[in-house]
Structure 1
Amino acid sequence: MDSKSSIKGRGAQRQLNNRFFELSHELRDDFLEYCRVEGEESTSNKTTYSEVFPKTIVNKVTSPDVGMMYSMNPYQGCEHGCIYCYARNSHEYWGLGPGLDFERQILIKKDAPKLLEAFLKKKSWKAETIVLSGNTDCYQPAEKKFEITRKCLEVFLKYKHPVGIITKNALILRDLDLLKELAKDHLISVSISITSLSEDTRRILEPRTACIKKRLETVKILSDNGIPVNVMLAPIIPSINSHEILPLAKAAAEHGASSLGHIVVRLNGAIGDLFKDWIEKTLPDRAEKVLHQIASCHEGQLNDNQFGRRMRGTGKIAQQINDLMELAKHKYFRDKEKVTLNKELHETYKDGQFKLF
């Protein structure tokens, strides 16, 4: 991509209007010409933070193929800017767009720790693992400023409640003290997403994420401290990172990962248009091939919403990816034990301290 025409530090390279709004905005040529003549920027590329006030924070996951029952998200939108991110669509429900809005307008839920505590204290609640980052990364750059995730981990520790974390940011190591305490009672598991061993690929796919070296170091440090780590190769994109499955699995195992998972890319909702625009600007020589191969994994479409097959795909290319993953698991993770979190302690800590009677 021409560096002069690209939007620096962003995955999406254009704004995308909200599908649910009757009205839309566009940058007119006469306005753009005015900005050029006056030496002004037509739009701001700065990240803005806005506080929102949800009534609840824990979400029941009804999709049967996601692998979690409950999730919570301290932030809406994500500055990491991963171009393939399925969560972009959720920004539209907040009245924003899935393109640059998703990366530049971050919604902050400062009440999340208080809402979580109230939820865990409910008499009717029986402990099940709650996953931080079911939608957007809980350790995205905003966390360094607001520390909402850390405060939520303090709540989980206080009530001895199992928690899972999904992230691609080394910032998680800031909270190693809390993670180690949770690990003592088998209350924590972490999934680190690693999509490539190539920094060039990482920079164009995930412009504001931690570098690959940092992520692998994070896997090792967590593992060395008794915290089980799953490495997610997510998503696998044909002709972009599909050739890296075995090297990625080897690196994950060598750094102490206890398990390995993957998802075949699917470009749901508005993501298809964003991805097509991105790849035609970023990898024009490969664009047609990659889009065709993605479609071949989903019955000729860029997306498949059917549970059970949408994350694994169908067809020859998807089968090759899935077979390689099975080979990788057999080769590098054959002797790894399955991690089960402790759901028994919470009931006796429901009031924040151990009950003797």
Structure 2
Amino acid sequence: MTHGPVHHKSRGALTNRASRFSASHAVDFDDGWASLEQDEDDARPATRLHVDPARRIISRNNSPDVPFNASINPYKGCSHGCIYCFARPTHEYLDHSAGLDFETEIYYKPDAAARFEAELRAPGYRCEPITLGANTDPYQPDERQLGVTRELLEVADRYNQPLSIITKGALINRDIDLLAAMAERGLISVMMSMTSLDAGIKRTLEPRAAGPQQRLRTITALAEAGIPVGALIAPVIPAITDQELESLVEKSAAAGAATAGYVLLRLPHSINGLFREWLDTHYPQRADHVMSLIQQMHGGQDYDSRWGARMRGTGVHAQLLRRRFELACKRAGIGARRRLPLDSSRFRCPPAAGDQHTLDFG
């Protein structure tokens, strides 16, 4: 059972609708006896951490419009609370809501590094770049105390395993020492997610993520340390953030980004309802216009899941957005691509305890 839409400070979702896989669904209503009044404990939903024992750590995909084949997600759920996050529906497979549960019921993999190392040592493993943060952010707030991402980096460093990182978390600055060492061997690249330069928009759109100026400073810190870094302008939201496209590219390039990419807002499954609640609450006078533009870029629907269309959209508005992005990158003097090249040729399994050493008869 869920309350009606309520804006909680530092949370993105306004409700906690039941999973679409749930056998029953319930909706609260006001019976006149103050039954919907919230306790103080409900005012700021707390984060709860759960252990997620992993059998395997490397996931693979064959999507033609995703620029990587292999990925690792140290966490399920993300307390950054971005209302638009395309990973929200995955929490429903855990019998949680894609709403507040996604932001507050966080699963982490304490044995992620051990599983990663075991898979790298497997006889059939063939090295290719692996993306950290394909689903949820590897530098979300709880990483500060858990350190799962840091341990994965340490394994990759020992094995010369190339990694690409997608994040909107300034916590990545903690790991610049490791990242810089890996960058010297062509083993690391970072895409910093940039959504808006407006701190007011950021506070409700992605409440617990780093602020826009923090992200720009992080781009600069990474670039100055010799770490290849780009900006991922995502998601572009019509009539909310799309007017910032050029300035986001310009500011990111000035901060040190060598490349940029963009992704149009996607509203699959339960994200649609969550985003509409967010729109109606924070931008009520603009909500219909925003949805109209989204539908015009998705063939008249709220979302078009077809490969080739879901990331960039179709139609006149989508074509204009694509052209604006290309021109912005050209003016800024940076590449227009979502992935930086990495070196897979250095991969080596370091000796492990109990390994048989090669005999030298020289």
Q: Are residue 24 (structure 1) and residue 25 (structure 2) matched?
A: yes
User: Residue 285 of structure 2 corresponds to which residue in structure 1?
Assistant: 285
Distance 2:79 2:40 in 1: 24
Q: Are residue 8 (structure 1) and residue 12 (structure 2) matched?
A: no
Identical counterparts, % of pairs: 38
> Does the C-alpha gap of structure 1 residues 317 and 35 become closer, same or farther in structure 2, counting only changes over 3 Å?
closer
User: Residue 173 of structure 1 corresponds to which residue in structure 2?
Assistant: 173
User: Residue 65 of structure 1 corresponds to which residue in structure 2?
Assistant: 65
User: Residue 46 of structure 1 corresponds to which residue in structure 2?
Assistant: 46
Range moving further from structure 2, 326-335 or 230-239: 326-335
SS at match of 2:66: coil
SS at match of 1:273: helix
Distance 1:263 1:331 in 2: 20
Contact 1:35 1:41 in 2 (8 A): no
Distance 2:75 2:335 in 1: 37
Q: Are residue 344 (structure 1) and residue 360 (structure 2) matched?
A: no
Range moving further from structure 2, 333-342 or 260-269: 333-342
SS at match of 1:349: coil
> Does the C-alpha gap of structure 1 residues 80 and 31 become closer, same or farther in structure 2, counting only changes over 3 Å?
farther
Distance 1:341 1:133 in 2: 17
What is the letter of the counterpart of residue 11 of structure 1?
Answer: G
Distance 2:112 2:185 in 1: 24
Q: By how many angstroms is 1:101 displaced?
A: 0.5
Q: How many pairs does the alignment contain?
A: 351
Q: Are residue 147 (structure 1) and residue 147 (structure 2) matched?
A: yes
Contact 1:83 1:275 in 2 (8 A): yes
Distance 1:108 1:196 in 2: 28
SS at match of 1:93: helix
Q: Are residue 92 (structure 1) and residue 87 (structure 2) matched?
A: no
What is the letter of the counterpart of residue 108 of structure 2?
Answer: I
What is the letter of the counterpart of residue 67 of structure 1?
Answer: P
Q: By how many angstroms is 1:224 displaced?
A: 0.7
Q: How do 1:1-357 and structure 2 match up within 5 A?
A: 5-27=6-28, 29=30, 33-34=34-35, 36=37, 41=41, 45-334=45-334, 339-346=340-347, 348-351=348-351
What is the letter of the counterpart of residue 7 of structure 1?
Answer: H
> Does the C-alpha gap of structure 1 residues 266 and 138 become closer, same or farther in structure 2, counting only changes over 3 Å?
same
Distance 2:334 2:278 in 1: 38
Is there any run of 5+ residues in structure 2 with no aligned partner, and where? none
SS at match of 1:263: strand
Q: By how many angstroms is 1:204 displaced?
A: 1.7
CA offset digits 1:293-337 (Å, max 9, x no partner) = 111110011111100111110111111111101101211135799
Distance 1:270 1:335 in 2: 34
Is there any run of 5+ residues in structure 1 with no aligned partner, and where? none
Distance 2:352 2:328 in 1: 43
> Does the C-alpha gap of structure 1 residues 53 and 192 become closer, same or farther in structure 2, counting only changes over 3 Å?
same
Q: By how many angstroms is 1:340 displaced?
A: 1.8
Contact 1:153 1:178 in 2 (8 A): yes
Range moving further from structure 2, 15-24 or 332-341: 332-341
Q: By how many angstroms is 1:202 displaced?
A: 1.2
Distance 2:192 2:168 in 1: 5
Contact 1:32 1:42 in 2 (8 A): no
> Does the C-alpha gap of structure 1 residues 39 and 7 become closer, same or farther in structure 2, counting only changes over 3 Å?
closer
Contact 2:164 2:189 in 1 (8 A): yes
Distance 2:268 2:276 in 1: 12
SS at match of 1:345: coil
